[in-house]
Structure 1
Amino acid sequence: MADGQQSVLFVCLGNICRSPIAEAIFRKLATDQGIINKWMIDSAGVIDFNVGNSPDSRALNCIRQHGTETTHKARQVTKNDFLTFDYMLCMDESNLRDLKRMADKVKNYKSEIKLLGSFDPENHLIIQDPYYGNDADFEDVYQQCLRCCTAFLEGST
């Protein structure tokens, strides 16, 4: 990236719950710390089912309650993402398997593919999908993503 800019792509299944929450949190953290210009930040899903859709209304409500907004529209991970992003941080083992399988088809990819939960100081490795849950489940995802994104950012700067 130009001028030492780093890049991170947050990934979940459909890009309407967990990854847009993580993206919004990370964007706010970087903005609040005055380093937003040092980061390229995005999110995507491993499936194409929700492409073009806004995040789930419960995800939007959750981040708004924490003073954050997003205009993100769901998209699917592309081969180019593996060549563009320094980090691809996903939410669960299924996402991790899917990303590694996709990466195997990309020559000389540069992305470091990891679970976002590997940065959780509380050692909760998996960020559970709240889609079939309730508002409390979305809040749990928010809090876990906040812990993980904070630790990731601290370790990256």
Structure 2
Amino acid sequence: MINILFVCLGNICRSPIAEGVFRDLVEREGLSKKIKCDSAGTASYHIGSLPDRRMRQIAWENDIELNHKSRKLAGDDFYNFDYIVAMDEANFQDIRNQSYRSSGFYFPEDKLFLFREFDPELIKPDDTAQLSVPDPYYEDIAVFDEVYRIVVRCGAQFLEYLVEKNQLKK
């Protein structure tokens, strides 16, 4: 079983939609017995809360169910997950720092990614800010929709990467 963790700041917008979309992609490819996913936040602002209502609306409009309850990234996550996928550079750095504080080692570089590294619409930019999934929390519904479209693209490419790297078969 391959375990994936999607991480953003508060675990109510970007990482829950990434988790929901990715779970849907995995199920459609017949790989749900081989790949599991979850999401978490680097901050504890919204622990126990459902995803933002605007993110749930966008998910619902696209036949994705979001019923995840927000949780904070924990030390055990570095042992329980094979891959951790950050939504932006700040969270990427927080994950690296917390992995070291929690376990005495940095989570392996080849298992920790910025999600937009898998965005087929980006041409490997030098600026890591371009690799960020935008945080829609203080924005209007259009940005939530943009985030959805980004995670669909990235999720499909990330799943393709996992299938190839781990030689998964349905």
- Range moving further from structure 2, 8-17 or 107-116: 107-116
Map of 1:133 onto structure 2: 139
Q: Does 1:88 align with 2:94?
A: no
2-structure distance, mates of 1:50, 1:25: 21
Map of 1:32 onto structure 2: 28
Gaps of 5+ in 1: none
Amino acid aligned to 2:156: T
- RMSD between superposed Cα atoms in Å: 1.2
Map of 2:59 onto structure 1: 63
Displacement after TM superposition at 1:107 (Å): 3.5
2-structure distance, mates of 1:86, 1:107: 17
- The number of equivalent residue pairs is 153
Map of 2:127 onto structure 1: none
Map of 2:48 onto structure 1: 52
Q: Secondary structure at the match of 2:112?
A: strand
1-structure distance, mates of 2:36, 2:106: 17
Residues 82 and 109 of structure 1 are in contact (CA less than 8 Å); yes or no, is this contact kept in structure 2?
no
Q: Secondary structure at the match of 2:36?
A: strand
Map of 1:118 onto structure 2: 117
TM-score w.r.t. structure 2 length?
0.86
2-structure distance, mates of 1:113, 1:156: 13
Map of 1:99 onto structure 2: 95
Q: Secondary structure at the match of 2:16?
A: helix
Amino acid aligned to 2:136: P
Amino acid aligned to 2:44: D
Q: Does 1:14 align with 2:13?
A: no
Residues 119 and 149 of structure 1 are in contact (CA less than 8 Å); yes or no, is this contact kept in structure 2?
yes
2-structure distance, mates of 1:114, 1:35: 21
Q: Deviations over 1:83-106 (max 9, x none)?
A: 111111011111011001101121
Runs of 4+ in structure 1 deviating by more than 4 angstroms, as ranges, are 108-111
State, as a whole percentage, how many aligned pairs show the same letter.
41
Displacement after TM superposition at 1:110 (Å): 5.5
1-structure distance, mates of 2:106, 2:91: 17
1-structure distance, mates of 2:107, 2:2: 12
Residues 97 and 106 of structure 2 are in contact (CA less than 8 Å); yes or no, is this contact kept in structure 1?
no
1-structure distance, mates of 2:46, 2:90: 18
Compared CA separation, residues 49 and 138, structure 1 to 2 (3 A) = same
